[in-house]
Amino acid sequence: METAEVDRMANFKGHALPGSFFLLFGLWWSVKYPLQYLSQKVNKKSHRTYCFQRVDAIEGGIKILFSLIGMLAEQFVPDGPHLYLYSGEKRDWVKLMNWQHTTMYLFYGLSGVVDVLTYISEVVPRGLDRLMLAVAVFVEGCLFYYHVLNRPMLDQHIHSLLLITIFIGAGSILLEVFLRDNIVLEMFRASITIVQGTWFWQIGVVLFQPWGGPVWDENDHSNIMFLTMCFFWHWAAAVTILAVNYTLTYWYGWDRTWGRPAGMSVVRQM
């Protein structure tokens, strides 16, 4: 049956690739936003500097590049659909799982386009970049929700934990449309993105054993309990990364006004 074929299409690389993209962006945001916040605080500027606006445009370009790589990888791998949505006399669907991943990458690519347009044109309304990113994350969540219906219990559960980060992330980013340059929301987005990236890798490891080892029993409730606990370990690790990066940015970030570390500037003023 077509359904059985679709269920076997997933693989470790299909989870590792988006996981790597999310992880890289999450780690970058965990450094960028503390640097931006502390820079504005030291310079006593309430508005964003031109330098950081340009960084947002570069991020948009990287988003577009990553999305194109993802779409091409999903479509043109040896067993991919190669842009065929259906085929044969019966018009059977072709590799719908690959098409779902392609759709996810498409919306992140559109988010990158809006990022670039926001930088190069003042006509683009303020906050539209965050709104488009929230839409992209929401689309990802909807796709994955229907991605795992009628799958084994372990498969459904481990993906449902991923959905927690996706939908919470979409809601958080939507708040950024109205609460612009809020360091708490920005850092929360960074942590959610890191968790999403590492959890994609975790899903790939659990379901496909890329380095060998025993297969996980999909009907063992103990495995469900462990993976739920493991999910929050990922979250704890993300919070730790944010705390370390914020601290390092504070102590070693340079105060442009005085030409010395921001931490030192604060000490001198005390």
Q: What is the per-residue pLDDT across 76-132, written as a single tens digit (0 to 9) for each? A: 988 889 999 998 888 899 988 889 999 999 999 999 999 999 988 889 998 999 999
The average confidence (pLDDT) of the chain is: 86
Alpha-carbon distances, residue 61 vs 26, 112, 132, 169 (angstroms): 16, 6, 15, 21
Q: Collect contacts of 51-60 with beta carbons under 8 A, ≥24 apart.
A: 53/119, 54/119, 56/115, 56/118, 56/119, 56/129, 57/115, 57/116, 57/118, 57/119, 57/120, 59/25, 59/28, 59/112, 59/115, 60/111, 60/112, 60/113, 60/114, 60/115, 60/116, 60/118, 60/119, 60/129
d(CA 176, CA 182): 7
Q: Lowest-confidence range among 4-13, 69-78, 207-216, 255-264?
A: 255-264
